[in-house]
Homo-oligomer: A and B are copies of this chain.
């Protein structure tokens, strides 16, 4: 039978992620293509203990329906961390719990975008955001992301000339590029936005994962009422719980709450209580220090091997996070490297889907958090062989 689907589906980019997950599941393939935090760094002992405490103490409450905004003590914990870590006067009333950062993308687009509205993103931009936004049929405008942040004249042009509803960016260790905005750029961006009514949407999945452990001041610091931040426990505690949040001014959060309720009533309450218990009975800073130490070593290893084995491949130099981006030698297509890589037992992610307007065909995103150091060494040898062989043909 023929189904009469909505027009928005024709705007959905054909997703690469399904293929990726299948590839990642093949144990013979070393994958730099995915975006999983290291399973070895999930504190299963601590989470187990917190889980047992929650099911012992008041299981019926944790297993019952709750309010849409989320578990108040968890929201207070999150607000308090913004105050202590970044000096931002956040309150629990400005925090709404969601199912990981991805749900923020969907619901934020839902409250702002009419069909045909303009929205700004980085180029390259985060694939999950492109997928979520596209379903609301906006015009997606891009600003080139360079070392140090978005190209300022292009950003200024976008904000002044297009009536973008919001600009979405990942200032800290961006996915896919691994780039971080400089502090100056953040201030300048805020200055440009201040003269418009465009909102800045900072996706901060990686802000806790800087190798130097120094927090960066968000754009919201300069524009409290004109910016929101989305955060997530996926990269620092456990993605399988699907718990993230949005930190937004009341004028936005009341609308966000309406669409969150319509979307799924509330996020998993059981895991909200477990997370809160875990966070208040463990030292989060120590745990994050462990993660960062390992990720920094893996990132250095991957960069060093790239430079040693593939000197013609240029790459970004992440200050944190889980990804770097590499540019292939002249003439080589990342899709070819992907296809050949699979045959040789190594997966990379072609940059193409991160460019809504085409381009990026010679770029690849590489993840350094999932694989072990041994896997990174072996995977880089395989990748070097693939690229070297392709250059000969």
Q: Are B44 and A64 interface neighbours, CB within 8 A?
A: no
**What residues of B have a CB within 8 angstroms of the CB of A265 in the complex?**
100, 102, 128, 242
- State whether B255 touches A9 (Cβ < 8 A): yes
Chain A interface main SS type: helix
Residues in B neighbouring A199, C-beta threshold 8 A: 3
Query: A267-283, CB under 8 A of B: which get 1 and which 0?
Result: 11111000000000000
User: Which residues on the B side are within 8 Å of A115 (C-beta)?
Assistant: 115
Query: Is A187 close to B, CB under 8 A?
Result: no
Selected contact of A63 from candidates B113, B226, B239, CB within 8 Å: B239
A8 CB–B CB distance under 8 Å: yes
**Mask of A1-36 contacts with B, CB within 8 angstroms, 1/0:** 111111111001001011001000000000000011
Q: Does A180 contact B (CB under 8 A)?
A: no
Q: How many copies does the complex hold?
A: 2
Q: Does A56 contact B (CB under 8 A)?
A: yes
CB of A73, distance to nearest CB on chain B (Å): 15
Interface size on A, residues (CB 8 A): 85
Q: Which residues of B lie under 8 Å from residue A37 when comparing CB positions?
A: 64
> Nearest B residue to A241 by beta-carbon distance?
B270
Q: Which residues of B contact A173 (CB under 8 A)?
A: none
A67 contacts the other chain (CB 8 A) = yes
Asked whether any CB of chain B lies closer than 8 Å to the CB of A47, the reply is yes
- Which residues from 171 to 230 on chain A have a C-beta closer than 8 Å to any C-beta of chain B? 197, 199, 225-226
Asked if A287 CB lies within 8 Å of chain B CBs, one says no
Chain A positions within 8 Å of B, measured between CB atoms, are 1-9, 12, 15, 17-18, 21, 35-37, 39-40, 42, 44, 47-48, 51-52, 55-56, 59-68, 98-100, 102-103, 105-106, 110-115, 117, 128, 131-132, 134-136, 165, 197, 199, 225-226, 234, 238-242, 249, 251-252, 255, 258-259, 261-271
